[in-house]
Structure 1
Amino acid sequence: MIPRDRITLGILAGGQGRRLGGVDKAFVIYRGRPLIERCLQACGDGFAERLVSHPGDVRFGSPQIRAIPDFRSGRLGPLSGLESLLRACRSDWLLSLPVDLRAIPDGFVDTLCRQANDQGTVVRDADGLQPLCGLWRVTQALPVISARLDRGALAAQGLLDDLILPVHDISPLRLGNLNTPDDFLDSDA
């Protein structure tokens, strides 16, 4: 098992939020708390560092979390955010999660730490492969992701075409994404 103190938590929160009217998803309230707060709490403590892929916001100006702007110019999507987190990572491992996950199961982080091989692991849920939810060995993942972006391959779904990782299947659980106003309407909100 990879100890948490050797892992940097990286939250992908740099999206444009177009389907939500251009709001900053990290600070949208869901079930009584901002999405960024829910994600941080669900992951727990003990990480080497906590980063958020975000263009920068004074609300991230705390010793608990460091905002990382995209390394590349232009809006290249979440794979570019993942590359930026990997570049900023000071530990051997990066655990990445999108900020807009509907649910993060109890024990999720520890399970990934146990399931990872020497390069890491990614998650599959009831909806399929979730390539942005993963545990990455920085020295292995960064050159592969950078090369994909260099050749214009922006889709996160194709990442495992170039990087061989075990897939941790959490089916029938569903992480879900909160992308539209309707996604925020549920009985637990």
Structure 2
Amino acid sequence: MSGVIILAGGRGTRMGGVDKASIILAGERLIDRLLRQLPYDAPVAVVSPYHLGMPQVCEKPLFGGPAAGIAAGHAALAGAAKSTTAILAVDAPDSPQMLPALEQALESSGADVAVATLDGLPQPLCALWRTEALTRALEELRDPRNKPAMHLLRLAGTIAEVEATPAVRDIDTLDELRARRERLATQR
């Protein structure tokens, strides 16, 4: 079974300082859209300082960056029995669709982490880690504050790359949100 860390605590500065988890897309909040696509029995740690009406954790200090959010989520899942840990971002609400391919790559490769690659670039916020490897990487990173998730990925021993589908594309700007809404409206 996989645990899931959902990073939902950024400042949303490129969108005017909004809580991205609460943005509505196709009639539901991004956080709800993402959660709906996860396996029902997966232990989940939602990392966000915003009140989302669900159990969540925060990095300390707040807005400490992606690696700090991953560390807070990892600590929150410490009691859950899990051999792997997925790391996903709320602004890529359809990224759970990549989990089967990431799981297959991790199992077949023996790597420490399987990561989606988009346009040839690894997407550390769409990754499936062996939990022990994530623990080692976080310990080696030491202080995760203000460090990007890519720093953590560089500390993985071996990496299996998986070509991403459009589900991994995130929503960082109002223009990207508008385009996603329009695309979903035409698909109905």
- State the TM-score, normalized to the length of structure 2: 0.80
- Residue 10 of structure 1 corresponds to 5
User: Structure 2: which amino acid aligns with 1:136?
Assistant: W
TM-aligned CA distance change 1:147 to 1:10, over 3 Å? same
2:135 aligns to what? Answer: 142
Is residue 75 of structure 1 aligned with residue 63 of structure 2? yes
Q: 1:67 to 1:169 in 2, by over 3 A?
A: same
Equivalent residue runs for 1:1-189 within 5 Å = 6-47=1-42, 49-55=43-49, 57=51, 59-60=53-54, 66-70=55-59, 72-89=60-77, 90-92=80-82, 93-101=84-92, 103-104=94-95, 106=97, 108-116=98-106, 117=110, 119-126=112-119, 128-150=121-143, 154-171=147-164, 173=166, 175-186=168-179, 187-189=182-184
Aligned length: 176
Distance 1:165 1:39 in 2: 27
* Preserved CA contact (<8 Å) 2:33 2:93: no
SS of residue paired to 1:15: coil
TM-score, normalised to structure 1's length?
A: 0.80
Quote how far apart the aligned CAs of 1:118 are: 5.9
Distance 1:155 1:163, change over 3 A: same
SS at match of 2:85: strand
Range with greater deviation from structure 2 (164-173 or 154-163): 164-173
Q: Tell me the SS of whatever aligns to 1:85.
A: helix
Please state how far the C-alpha of 1:56 moved relative to its aligned partner. Answer: 5.2
* Amino acid in structure 1 at the alignment position of 2:63: R
C-alpha displacement at 1:173, in angstroms?
4.2
Residues 31, 188 of structure 1: 8 Å contact kept: no
C-alpha deviation, 1:33, in angstroms: 1.5
Paired AA for residue 104 in structure 1: S
CA RMSD of aligned residues (A): 2.5
User: Counterpart of 2:183 in 1: which secondary structure?
Assistant: coil
Structure 2 distance, partners of 1:56, 1:23, is 10
The percent identity for this pair of structures is 25
Tell me if the contact between 2:19 and 2:50 (Cα under 8 Å) persists in the aligned partners.
Answer: no
Where does structure 2 lack aligned partners over 5 or more consecutive residues? none
Q: 1:151 to 1:81 in 2, by over 3 A?
A: closer
Q: Is the 8 A contact 2:7 2:48 kept in 1?
A: yes
Distance in 1 between the 2:145 and 2:29 partners? Answer: 33
Question: Contact 2:88–2:96 (CA<8 Å) still a contact in 1?
Answer: no
Whether contact under 8 Å (1:141, 1:163) holds in the other structure is yes
Which portions of structure 1, spanning 4 or more consecutive aligned residues, are displaced by more than 6 angstroms? none
